[in-house]
Chain A
Amino acid sequence: NAGVTQTPKFQVLKTGQSMTLQCAQDMNHNSMYWYRQDPGMGLRLIYYSASEGTTDKGEVPNGYNVSRLNKREFSLRLESAAPSQTSVYFCASGRDSYTDTQYFGPGTRLTVL
Chain B
Amino acid sequence: SQQGEEDPQALSIQEGENATMNCSYKTSINNLQWYRQNSGRGLVHLILIRSNEREKHSGRLRVTLDTSKKSSSLLITASRAADTASYFCATVLTSNTGKLIFGQGTTLQVKP
Contacts and interface: CB of A to CB of B under 8 A. Distances in A.
Interface in A66-113: 90, 92, 97-107
A104 B41 CA distance: 9
Nearest to A42: B102
A98 B92 contact: yes
Contacts of A35: 102
A90 B33 contact: no
Given A43-B88, A99-B31, A101-B48, A90 B43 contact: yes
Contacts of A58: 99
Given A43-B102, A102-B43, 10 more contacts: A42-B4, A42-B88, A42-B104, A58-B99, A92-B43, A98-B97, A98-B100, A100-B48, A101-B48, A104-B35
A42 B23 CA distance: 13
Contact of A101 (B33, B103, B105): B33
Contacts of B41: 106-107
Q: How would you classify the secondary structure of chain B's contact residues: helix, strand, loop or mixed?
A: strand
Contacts of A105: 42
Q: When A and B form their complex, which 8 residue pairs have the shortest distance between CB atoms, in order from nearest?
A: A98-B98, A42-B102, A104-B42, A104-B43, A43-B102, A101-B45, A106-B42, A42-B104
A9 to B, nearest CB: 10
A112 to B, nearest CB: 19
Interface string B40-52: 1111110010000
A33 B101 CA distance: 12
Interface string B14-54: 00000000000000001101010000111111001000000
B12 interface: no
A99 B4 contact: no
B45 A97 contact: no
Contacts of B45: 101-103
